[in-house]
Chains A and B, each alone.
Chain A
Amino acid sequence: MANTTHTTIPTVPEVARRRAGRGGGARRPVTGPSGRARRVPRSLQGWLYAAPTAVMVLIFFVVPILLVVQMSVSDWSLFAGNRGLNAPDNFVDASQHRLLWPAVTFTLKYTVITTLILLGVALGLALVVQESTRWKNGLRTAILVPSALGLASASLLFYALYSPQSSPINPALAALGVVDRPVSFLGTPDSALWSTVFLIVWRFAGFYMLLLMVGLQGISGDVYEAARIDGANRRQIFARITLPLLRPSIALCTILCVTGSLLAFDQFFILTKGGPDNSTVTIVQLVYNMAFAGQNHLGLAAALSVMVLVALLALNALQFRGLRGRED
């Protein structure tokens, strides 16, 4: 789930806008020069071009969302199906669920930790890969390889690595004399959280490094040269040149990472199942549990999904606004 959200955020307008800005100054309006003369056929043509996408969006996005909204206001059980409207019971029940606030808190905590670490590591890697010349290609590949692995497969791999029964880590640590008792990677709330964060950083650092590298390469060498002639040192160059000019890329990465982390599911579903003691239940996992593990209440799960959707839309709108404000 996190995977899809990591890749479906529309980056195209972003890129297009930036390109337009670089090429021809502040050429804001998108309407072409000939648009005024043949407006009707042109707009019809436009609709035709957009139609295939629109149909796909309608079938695979709008219709399912409407279905979820319908579920959220209905007494809809997994086995018995729709048993009629009951609004707003599901929303009331969902907001009173005993695990809702722990899940919200944990998801936010996880999101903040993941985003900070992941972006920090990715930026560091991007700078390293950018600077070093000799090992550049090998390094890039090595860092990117985990991104080629599905998140579920990666989680299973780490499940084996963390498992007390099959883990090669504990015997290795014991042989080195680092620990005298086996480390329990998933046994306590904190260790489970950090073990999962480690997996996610390993899995996604390469992807975000790539995004940031594109941003870095977009910064003209002239600016650096000018800064160096002015006598700026490395730290100053990084703080005054690289970071400000990299802002759009960082903002994009932040949006992707925040959205992806708020919707975290696979990794926790496979590694911890929300345990120990419900300490790692994320919001999406709560949705899953309501629907399939116990209550089997699709209506309740849909109500929570709708609430999450609204919250995410608001958050993304805020983020995009902040991003746009900065660019202007």
Chain B
Amino acid sequence: MRSIARPGVRRAMAGIATAALLVGGVAACGGGDGGDPAEGDGGDDTAASPEGVDDGTTLTLWTRAPLEAQANLLVEAYNATHENQVELTITPNDDYVARVGAAAGSSDLPDLFAADIVYVPNWTEQGLFSDITDRISSLPFADDINQGHVEAGTYEDSQYVLPFVLDLSVMFYNKDLYREAGLDPEQGPTTLQEFKEHALAIQALEKPGVYGSFFGGNCGGCGVFTWFPMVWASGEEVMNEDGTESYLASDAAQEVYAVWRELNEADALYPGAAEETGATWTAGFQEGNVGVMPYPATLLATASETVDVGVSGIPGVDGGVATFIGGDGIGISKDSEATDQAWNFLAWLMSEEAQVEVLAQNGDVVARTDLVDNEYSQADPRVVTVNEVAGDPNSRTPFARNFQQAFNATDSPWLTLFRNAIFGDGGSVEEDNEAITEVLSQ
């Protein structure tokens, strides 16, 4: 490993240089192609209105399956009110990176595509998106757009990405089970210990098929999404600011592993936690068979169809709340030949019409801080809770260039760390944490 560190650095530098060249090169090509004359780099931003162009162009949009519901609602609403028509393509989560990568290599990217926000820094650096800095600043509410997402899509002072759908992790609990277990159905856990006690209390009901809690034990992304907030809420960080060093052996992190380890040892987890790769990690709760677990807020509407859902923030060791501000960022691709039309969709996406009348009405979190208090969110106290957590200073969108390799990949060192900590002997956290740092710092 030591011997390849050097070429790695060299490669990274070359990558940055090439990416920079690529961005410049693509912008230059746009004008030289002889296509739309308004497409050149400079003329583009000055000529276009803040709303972009709505002239009946067909736009292509790619996203991944977990956000299918929101993407469908947004595209339907846009197509119904605009001349431009968006064609939506949904790809299974696990195949999305491969698909985008293949398209990027052959310059076949769609006009618009969304990306898991944790991949956005890398993809932006690789030059997959067009620069929309000036367009974003032309929006009157530019400063109110979720900064976590915008910053993830900022590279060398240029902005490339806007929030598509925010996905936050919050604690979901089954109110019916809480009542049966004699817990307060209006109050979710406020500390990690309480979370454990609540889960054990529901387990103690000994109802057949009903378990205290659940987590995706073979799913790095699930761990990131649901456990990082527990560390943040405890006032600690998971990585350094540059995303090159892992702090996942901290006291708070160890406390998180200990709680889950105890739940596992007490058989208070829905079956299959150890082998859950993420495809079905939300299913148990939705069936009403899990008492309390960290869950994606985007599934509030879906889960509420079958379960009386209570929502609270993900707690830290001694209280506090935090959430993982995840979801997808969206940008105009480097290959789009209809950037003004694509911007029309993005500008609409940021509008009150889309944020409130489409997303908030569906029970989703809005991506603009000035719209957090709207008629729909006020009607449902659970959405108010989600919005409050999103606004908590402890909530984050983590940033790291090698995020996928370090955390989400099926062979990631993070997966090794928490599997050892929960299912193994639990003694290798320090060592495994160094393995994460090694990948992050490549």
Contacts and interface: CB of A to CB of B under 8 A. Distances in A.
Interface of A: 75, 77-81, 83, 86, 89, 92-93, 96, 98-99, 163-165, 182, 184, 186-187, 192, 272-278, 281, 289, 291-296
B104 A274 contact: no
Given A80-B19, A274-B410, A165 B280 contact: yes
Contact of A296 (B11, B97, B280): B97
Contacts of A80: 15, 18-19, 22, 126-127
Nearest to A188: B274
A79 B123 contact: yes
B274 A78 contact: no
B377 interface: no
A186 to B, nearest CB: 4
A281 B97 contact: no
B15 A164 contact: no
28 contacts: A77-B15, A77-B126, A78-B102, A79-B105, A79-B127, A80-B22, A80-B126, A83-B14, A83-B15, A99-B411, A164-B275, A184-B272, A186-B275, A272-B275, A273-B218, A274-B410, A275-B410, A276-B275, A277-B415, A278-B416, A281-B411, A289-B409, A291-B98, A292-B101, A293-B97, A293-B411, A295-B405, A296-B97
Interface string B1-38: 10110010001001100110010000000000000000
Interface in B266-287: 270-272, 274-275, 277, 280, 283-284
Kindly list the 5 A-B residue pairs having the minimum CB-CB distance in the complex, ordered from nearest.
Answer: A164-B272, A294-B405, A294-B409, A78-B101, A79-B126
B280 A81 contact: no
B419 interface: yes
Contacts of A296: 97, 101, 404
Chain B binding surface SS class: helix
Chain B interface residue number, banded: 35 or more
Contacts of A163: 272, 280
A165 B22 CA distance: 47
A77 B405 CA distance: 14
Contact of B411 (A164, A187, A294): A294
B433 interface: no
Contact of B1 (A89, A96, A281): A96
Given A92-B4, A292-B101, A293-B404, A274 B271 contact: no
B280 A289 contact: no
A289 to B, nearest CB: 6
A84 B11 CA distance: 11
A89 B126 contact: no
Contact of B271 (A164, A275, A278): A164
Given A79-B123, A80-B127, A96-B1, A294 B408 contact: yes
B274 A184 contact: yes
A293 B18 contact: no
Given A92-B3, A184-B275, A292-B101, 19 more contacts: A77-B126, A78-B104, A79-B126, A80-B15, A80-B22, A92-B4, A96-B3, A165-B271, A165-B272, A184-B272, A273-B218, A277-B416, A281-B411, A289-B409, A293-B408, A293-B410, A294-B402, A294-B404, A295-B405
A77 B105 CA distance: 9
Chain A binding surface SS class: loop
Nearest to B14: A83
B7 to A, nearest CB: 5
Nearest to A281: B411
B244 to A, nearest CB: 16
Nearest to A103: B411
A224 to B, nearest CB: 50
Nearest to B17: A83
Contact of A75 (B1, B11, B272): B11
B18 A165 contact: no
B14 A75 contact: yes
B128 interface: yes
Interface string B347-363: 00000000000000000
Given A163-B272, A164-B275, A294-B404, A81 B411 contact: no
Contacts of B415: 275, 277
B129 to A, nearest CB: 11
A184 B126 CA distance: 41
Nearest to B98: A292
A275 B277 contact: yes
B203 interface: no
Contacts of B246: none
B304 to A, nearest CB: 20
A325 to B, nearest CB: 41
A147 to B, nearest CB: 26
A92 B1 CA distance: 11
Contacts of B402: 294
Contacts of B395: none
- Of residues B98, B408, B410, B412, which shows the largest number of chain A Cβ atoms within 10 Å of its Cβ? B410
B4 A96 contact: yes
Contacts of A96: 1, 3-4
B119 to A, nearest CB: 10
